[in-house]
Amino acid sequence: METFRPLLPVGYAAGAEAYRRAAEGLTADDLTQHYTRGLRFFHEELVPKVKARLSALSGGVWRLDDYVAFAAGSDCDFMSHLVEAVAAREPVRLYPGDWHGFTVGCTQQEGIRWDAETPGALACLCIPSVRNGHVTEEMLAFLGASSQCLLNLNLYPTLSGAERTEVAGQLLPLLPKSVLSISFSRGFGLTASQLGVALVHKDHPYRKRFETQWNWHTYFFNALAAKAFLAVDMERMQAVDDERRAWVGTWLAEHELPVVDTGSYYVKSFRVQGELPEYLAPLKRGDVVRLCFKPPQVG
């Protein structure tokens, strides 16, 4: 067991093949037309398929027809811009133990706080949380208490189908006030050139407030990642996810740790009763022991 293991993505052979197909189809004219025809491709081809794929992942729970799309060079660029802009004037809240990426790209640190108890103007959370691989009732209450939400849907595809549908239903009432950031750098292993798409309800107040800036960022969407995303074989990836989920369960059992079947296989967290074994001490994060996994299966 490694005593330091950040939550790093594990690639898929299907993802690498999708990148190759995307790159092989690239032409000089594609580069010339990126800001014109490429922008039409983003809105008319990519966005409908992103919405359809999210709807499929949610088991049909999410209907995103009333949501408009924006983009940036990566999801981190987009989220850093949003958190920075809000924190300059209003309080931003992060769920304790969740993703540090919400804050490290921002200079307005005084406006950002790890606090699940006090509502803010914007509550940020990974779906599922990188704190424990789940979306808990406490996390839903945290999101519900703040005026707006930023949901990072990175690990969402690694949940089982039934759990994705359940989480989608739990989040459904929160979607109209949320910005949905879509990367899938972990969920689909698309890390080499990342998809940075955001969906927001057409009547969301942030659309009016930030639309000029978001339209500007959208010119610089990652076309190579977009085409790789469209070329990905989802069923093949989900079969690999099933193998990884089983591998993590076996590892936990072999190490005499609780076998938690729910949540993302990437991260499992536990509260230890009694004295914490010395070998687990470096893995303690806040009030939980957090294990991050890199299953060997790539498909």
Report yes or no on whether pTM surpasses 0.85: yes
| First CA to last CA distance, the chain | 24
CATH number for the domain that contains residue 99: 3.40.640.10
Bridge pairing between strands 67-71 and 197-201: antiparallel
Domain boundary among 213, 231, 249: 231
Q: Is residue 197 part of a domain?
A: yes
8 Å CB contact between 53 and 226: no
Residues 182 and 124 reside in one and the same domain:
yes
Same domain assignment for residues 205 and 152: yes
Q: Which of 187, 276, 281 is nearest to 234 (CA)?
A: 187
As a whole number of angstroms, the distance between CA 14 and CA 272 comes to 38
Give the tokens for residue 89. Answer: 């004037």
Number of domains the chain contains = 2
Candidates 231, 265, 245; CA nearest to 15 is: 231
Could you report the average pLDDT of every consecutive run of 10 residues in the chain (299 residues)?
Answer: 71 95 95 97 97 97 98 92 97 95 94 97 97 96 98 95 98 98 86 92 97 96 94 94 96 91 94 82 81 93
Closest CA to 71 of 185, 225, 203: 225
Whether residue 188 is contained in a domain is answered as yes
pLDDT in the model for residue 276: 82
Residue where the block lists tokens 């949003």? 82
Gap between the Cα atoms of 212 and 220, Å rounded: 14
Structural domain contains residue 264: yes
Helix then strand then coil, % of the chain, to nearest 5: 45, 15, 40
What does the block give as tokens for 280?
């687990």
61 and 96 in a single domain? The answer is yes
Sheet of 284-285: strand order equals 267-270, 288-292, 284-285
The one-letter code for the residue type at 37 is R
Place of tokens 């293991």: 5
Residues 175 and 281 in one domain: no
In this structure, the answer to whether residues 26 and 120 fall within a common structural domain is yes
Taking a C-beta distance cutoff of 8 angstroms, is the pair 194, 222 a contact?
yes
Residue 298: inside a domain: no
Supply the pLDDT for residue 111.
Answer: 97
Q: List the domain range (segments joined by +) for residue 187.
A: 13-231
- Is 8 part of a structural domain of the chain? no
Are 119 and 167 found together in one domain?
yes
Is the same domain home to 167 and 281? no
Q: Which two tokens stand for residue 259?
A: 């076998």
Whether residues 120 and 139 share a domain: the answer is yes
Q: Can you tell me whether residue 248 is helix, strand or coil?
A: helix
What is the reported pLDDT for 220? Answer: 95
Mark whether 29 and 137 lie in a shared domain: yes
Q: Is residue 50 part of a domain?
A: yes
